[in-house]
Structure 1
């Protein structure tokens, strides 16, 4: 059947039209019609090969998916918004931890050579996930292409298209231009992701070589001792961000990261607090409520269950 459909799609105009319409209808059905719970059950089973237990979740990934459905507050939306979260950070720990902001706009055309700063910066949207445009020399940018891509991203609701993570649903899309953080030698700083359970840091994720084939992910506890599991994401080359064989030294700002993460995570059952250490100066990155959307296996699998047993689900609110 697949061979027949492929032949119809590639060889005939009518076949291509009808098959594409079928694909579009299927996408519309799964992104706009089907319930969040049904989508989560489907993707979870595709990811783990097992049905998810949402009635009595046990593993960390099951609990993360349970939280998608049962822990929904206006504060989640504010903190998932890369622009609005700045007010939360300023209120809780102070503006000195914020990455300098150059521009905030809803109009892609305002992102142009005239308005961009003359120092390295990053252009990104506030309402979705993924990287932005690194700007080292604005004169070399393909502005029209960037504006076109930003326009498309502003029209996309990340909740519907990808994740069914409720906190993204009501974010008003916009564009932000921030300072591009760089160390003294000109490199992109290491980022540290502190996973917090019930207001306390449980483990620390360190990504090395992001965006390259040599992307590794190490896991440490708060004493900077390596954790005995891997919780890896799939890279573009099909391989995974497994832990490196080498160690990464603890940052000098580790204790401050942990202290501030306790403050920022206090209202939430589970949240990942991201930080950048730039030559000893600490900058807040973002708050993430469902790491890898709860679809990345933790291996050995016993650790998914062990970590899940440590996360308590009592403190949740649903709109």
Structure 2
């Protein structure tokens, strides 16, 4: 982290004016147009209005990686919830080793932010475990909501969880993560845009598809679009139903689901994708996604 970012990390949680100008500057720098947050039309503008004036009490509940699982279990059943191996206010390297020996590989994370997430496996060295322990404990002292200007995260009580690591589907090297952008229409119908990320660690690219038909959508968002076809995942209609059910209370939410050999698992719910600062390949697509979002962005 360079010196300027260190200073911003210190100042942003303390001074609203710094956050006000910094996030507008960041929006312009990344999206290449000056935002209108009072009368938003584009997808990214509406996300930023939500960040400033959010009203829905479930934002914090569903952004909490622990409480969200309780919400999901109640709404769609606990069979889609990934098992927690540990939940607590702190964790030690000794405890991490104990969980690993008794339960196997797992992900270590904080519940009140968007990472970093640590994979703890049989191949993890003692030094890697100590570093993961130090990292996740230190995350609890950081007000993530103020850093990204998404205040619903600030309402989450910071905790640590160890979550079971899923194995990829047969013949796959990585877990497929399907992100359902759900937009609630005035008549209650939920329109869905699906995006899938590929090759995150080597050549990150991202493709968008119409949620029902899985037709490719000809735009990119931050990362290039390489794949124009998507093999229909096993039990895809069930995934779509789950995403829509979880999205019902909101004007817009992104629901992330995993699919492992047809078994569906809940990943997370996100209320401000990319924090409203990811550039579309063309302004018209930012506006197009904004037109899908017909409800009040604050909810």
TM-score (norm 2): 0.88
Q: 1:195 corresponds to which residue?
A: 181
Q: 1:113 corresponds to which residue?
A: 97
- Alignment root-mean-square deviation, CA: 2.2
Offset at residue 185 of structure 1 (A):
4.8
User: Whole-Å Cα distance in 2 between the matches of residues 89 and 188 of structure 1?
Assistant: 24
Q: 1:225 corresponds to which residue?
A: 215
**Alpha carbons 1:216, 1:243 under 8 Å: kept:** yes
User: Whole-Å Cα distance in 2 between the matches of residues 293 and 23 of structure 1?
Assistant: 17
Matching residue within 248, 259, 281 for 2:263: 281
Matched, 1:167 2:142: no
Question: What are the residue-to-residue correspondences of 1:253-264 with 2, within 5 Å?
Answer: 253-264=235-246
- State the aligned residue count: 287
Deviations 1:68-105 (A, max 9, x none): 12223321101001011011001100100001111111
Residue 97 of structure 2 aligns to a residue whose secondary structure is coil
User: Whole-Å Cα distance in 2 between the matches of residues 23 and 290 of structure 1?
Assistant: 22
Q: 2:204 corresponds to which residue?
A: 215
Offset at residue 149 of structure 1 (A):
1.1
**Alpha carbons 1:194, 1:202 under 8 Å: kept:** yes
Residue 299 of structure 1 aligns to a residue whose secondary structure is coil
TM-score (norm 1): 0.83
User: Whole-Å Cα distance in 2 between the matches of residues 315 and 43 of structure 1?
Assistant: 20
User: Whole-Å Cα distance in 2 between the matches of residues 170 and 262 of structure 1?
Assistant: 25
Offset at residue 245 of structure 1 (A):
4.2
Larger Cα-atom Rg:
1
**Alpha carbons 2:197, 2:205 under 8 Å: kept:** yes
Deviations 1:158-209 (A, max 9, x none): 1123x10111111111111111111245733210000011262421011111
**Alpha carbons 2:256, 2:269 under 8 Å: kept:** yes
- Distance change in 2, residues 1:102/1:256 (3 Å): same
Q: 1:40 corresponds to which residue?
A: 23
Task: Extract unaligned runs of 5+ from structure 1.
Answer: 1-19, 233-240
Offset at residue 27 of structure 1 (A):
4.6
Offset at residue 303 of structure 1 (A):
1.0
Moved more, 83-92 or 112-121: 112-121
Q: 2:32 corresponds to which residue?
A: 49
- Distance change in 2, residues 1:257/1:272 (3 Å): same
Question: What are the residue-to-residue correspondences of 1:173-184 with 2, within 5 Å?
Answer: 173-183=158-168, 184=170
